[in-house]
Copies of this chain bind each other. A is one copy, B any other.
């Protein structure tokens, strides 16, 4: 479904949403260890998230990554779009050139409803809401 980079990104953002704040920043190393993800690869991912303003960061001593308030209000969808693009939600599951209701592929009925459902959820759920659920239900990242 999603690329590894995208999966790591989702986990990292939720991790930051749960474990960081503007007063309490977290470094790549800590995140990588906690999530059990390749450190340098994660670093690049965090950089991209930062460039896209999905997370915040400051350099230097006591620096690190964190979620600012405005970061928490964006929908989950944005993370995925940043890494895998809109295609994961729009491109045909069978790899046909175009996905349209007029020219549906054979898996249309099966696949369409589910993909749309997932997309809807990711569009309408903010990182904050999702992170709250993670905290409340003690979900593992």
Contact = CB atoms under 8 A, between A and B. Distances in A.
Contacts of A30: none
A26 B81 CA distance: 41
A12 to B, nearest CB: 11
Identical copies of this chain, number? 2
A91 to B, nearest CB: 9
Say whether chain A's binding surface is mostly helix, strand, loop, or mixed: helix
A10 B93 CA distance: 11
A11 to B, nearest CB: 6
Interface in A108-141: 108-111, 113-115, 117-118, 121-122, 125, 130, 133-134, 137, 139-141
A106 B1 contact: no
Interface of A: 1-2, 4, 7-8, 10-11, 14, 93-96, 103-111, 113-115, 117-118, 121-122, 125, 130, 133-134, 137, 139-141
